Chains A and B, each alone.
Chain A
């Protein structure tokens, strides 16, 4: 288990020996800061004249401002995370350092979990940057700190799932830029799939000209495909959490994504030992 820590320490330090760590934190800080100020000013406008914006009274602060802000931060991390994940394995492959790593007496488990832990370290720092913005609100509003903490936790969970996907992609591809682009593409597809599914009708009856058995099969397949597509965007479950609504299924959802893609990364590394 100590080896996990050693790999994580080396990997985490490397983020700050290269510009990657600074660029990631700088971009998150800058873009979240801009989003925070703009949406806060918009909320101030809305609360001063809610009728103009179609509200009957001053809208709920958490629902109108806080939750969308946290979800935005989660999505931002999702699209910036390839910066972190593309180097995890792809860079080792492209520079050849993986040959050293694989010939040291450490297990694949130590390498994968160590690298994932290091990327979680960067994620924690980015969540801290976002927290810096959010906690500015505390002296001026009556938001419960626990709501803020839960919102930040939702960003962290979403980031964790995203990093596990990126790490898996990185374990498959030997050029960092390609790995980054593919990860970005995967997130985009997941994001778009969910939005498309939301616009699809709940039930799509099959043509009546078809036999009844076939109609039933098509309807059930449609239902399953739509339900799966609705679950694909990683930001959906964060929306609830960012409102301070605690539902274990949301946490389980992110944990399942993470565990599944870490498992796939294990398989990916293990495949080199298949005798061919």
Chain B
């Protein structure tokens, strides 16, 4: 469903991604794990067509994202890290707008919006202005706009960051629930989260894939922990050298 082939991304002289390759099969739930600055968000931004890669190609379905951006974007629902929302709009009008630009047929908009509102627990705030929503509800709304129209691929950039423990549990349940029928790629730096939500973990460090590990039974495999901690230690050593 997703194929990444030797993606490299430079920000000026800084190499954020260095020849990264991986692929995701249909229905797979994959976690992109890595310390801060590993290149997770950059990878996701390239896959969603927000920015181009410097080199390499990425396919969503059968479409190369840079060559067929519109077709590829139709297959993807995306939740950015900061959950940017149009603060002045109401939940209702925002979701209606998203449904329109995602190309959902006019007669289906109300039912599709109602469906995600129900799924994401937004019924009680449906008519509220986004500005007045709590962080938890904003995150739910971000998820709702991502899954609206039921795109086959869902990309979530640190979906639980900044939430309180109760909200984290709720959002994880939600992701687990809709992840049953979609291909999900989510980034995080929380080990227990990937173990709970994902069937596979790709570990990124300093723009490179340093591990690609299968997860079974909701436990954090020792292998993930080892590779992840090694990556963090290497990062710290580099920082010390730089200092």
Give the shortest distance, in Å, between B199 (CB) and chain A (any CB). Answer: 25
Residue of chain A at shortest CB distance from B72: A105
Any B CB within 8 A of the CB of A203: no
Asked if B52 and A100 sit within 8 Å, CB to CB, the answer is no
Partner of A17, one of B45, B49, B78, B88: B88
Any A CB within 8 A of the CB of B80: yes
Interface contacts (Cβ under 8 Å), in number, total: 74
**Cβ < 8 Å to A, chain B residues 20-79:** 45, 48-55, 66, 70-71, 73-74, 76, 78
Any A CB within 8 A of the CB of B219: no
Asked if B103 and A97 sit within 8 Å, CB to CB, the answer is no
Interface string of A1-33 (1 = CB under 8 A from B): 011001101100110011000000000000000
Asked if A104 and B88 sit within 8 Å, CB to CB, the answer is no
Asked if B74 and A105 sit within 8 Å, CB to CB, the answer is yes
B84, B85, B101 pick with most chain A CB within 10 angstroms:
B101
Interface string of A83-99 (1 = CB under 8 A from B): 00000000000011111
Residue of chain B at shortest CB distance from A20: B88
Asked if B101 and A104 sit within 8 Å, CB to CB, the answer is yes
Any A CB within 8 A of the CB of B93: yes
Inter-chain CA distance A6–B94, complex, in Å, is 11
- Please tell me the size bucket of the interface on A: 20 to 34
A7, A97, A104, A107 pick with most chain B CB within 10 angstroms:
A104
Known: A17-B88, A95-B84, A103-B76. A275 touches B54 (CB 8 A): yes
Residue of chain B at shortest CB distance from A274: B52
Inter-chain CA distance A7–B145, complex, in Å, is 16
**Cβ < 8 Å to B, chain A residues 127-144:** none
Any A CB within 8 A of the CB of B100: yes
**Cβ < 8 Å to A, chain B residues 70-118:** 70-71, 73-74, 76, 78, 80, 82, 84-89, 93, 97-98, 100-103
Give the shortest distance, in Å, between B63 (CB) and chain A (any CB). Answer: 11
Inter-chain CA distance A99–B48, complex, in Å, is 10
Known: A99-B50, A103-B49, A105-B74. A3 touches B84 (CB 8 A): no
Asked if A272 and B101 sit within 8 Å, CB to CB, the answer is no
Give the shortest distance, in Å, between A86 (CB) and chain B (any CB). Answer: 15
Partner of B87, one of A13, A95, A102, A274: A95
Residue of chain B at shortest CB distance from A98: B84
Any B CB within 8 A of the CB of A106: yes
Asked if B103 and A105 sit within 8 Å, CB to CB, the answer is yes
- Of all A-B residue pairs in the complex, the 8 with the closest CB atoms, nearest first, are A96-B84, A17-B88, A105-B73, A6-B100, A103-B48, A97-B84, A105-B74, A104-B101
A residues near B (Cβ < 8 Å) are 2-3, 6-7, 9-10, 13-14, 17-18, 95-100, 102-107, 272-276
**Apart from A99-B80, A105-B70, A105-B71, what are 9 other A-B pairs with CB-CB below 8 Å?**
A2-B100, A6-B101, A18-B88, A95-B87, A98-B84, A100-B80, A103-B76, A106-B101, A276-B10
Q: 10 A–B contact pairs at CB < 8 A? A: A13-B89, A97-B85, A99-B50, A100-B78, A103-B80, A104-B102, A105-B71, A105-B101, A106-B70, A276-B54
